[in-house]
A = this chain, B = another copy of it.
Amino acid sequence: MTGIQSTDIKNKLHAFCVQCKNAGLKMTPQRLAIYKYLLETVEHPSADTVFRNVRHTLPNISLDTVNRTLLTLNRIGAAFVVEGTGDVKRFDANLEDHQHFKCLNCKRIIDFHHAPFDNVEIPTCIKDQFTILRKTVYFEGLCKDCQSIST
């Protein structure tokens, strides 16, 4: 697969460079590799998972850089921290409208898309009390694999 890259990925990488420049951020190999990995996976990886994978291409990258960069991506809006209940932080660079299901047993986070959830209407009672920066619909339970195993 190496060397072959969809136009979509290329476009997003280019958009990312522009986004960094606009935010006054330097384009480092570390940043690019982390963002690229996050773009190409559907796993919603933790910082440690990103670290272990990015090390294949950048053997000297530090875990701190991965953590710092993931938070930077979150800050500039190139990625975000996935919602959940406890456990380690998980990240997502898929900015398209979608929702998440998380298996309580194997911790897998699976995307789904149900259009009616895309823009859940904000009730006025909170619209004029808060600045809403994010709205999520989030499901938890057991995936098919884990239904059978767990009691």
Within 8 Å of chain B (Cβ to Cβ): is A95?
A: no
Contact across chains for B126 and A139 when beta carbons are under 8 A apart: yes
- The chain B residue sitting closest to A140, CB to CB, is B134
Partner of A133, one of B89, B104, B122, B136: B104
Q: Which of the candidate stretches A14-22, A28-36, A79-87 sits at the interface with the other chain?
A: A79-87
Per-residue CB proximity of A111-130 to B under 8 Å, as 1/0?
01010110011110110011
Chain B residues lying within 8 Å of A132, measured Cβ to Cβ, are: 101, 139-141
Q: How far is the CA of A133 from the CA of B120 in the complex (A)?
A: 21
Interface residue count for A (Cβ, 8 Å)? 39
In the bound assembly, the distance between CA atoms of A85 and B85 in angstroms comes to 8
20 additional A-B pairs beyond A80-B85, A81-B86, beta carbons within 8 Å, are A81-B85, A82-B85, A83-B84, A86-B89, A101-B132, A112-B123, A112-B125, A112-B126, A114-B123, A120-B137, A122-B139, A129-B143, A130-B143, A131-B141, A131-B142, A131-B147, A132-B141, A136-B136, A136-B138, A136-B140
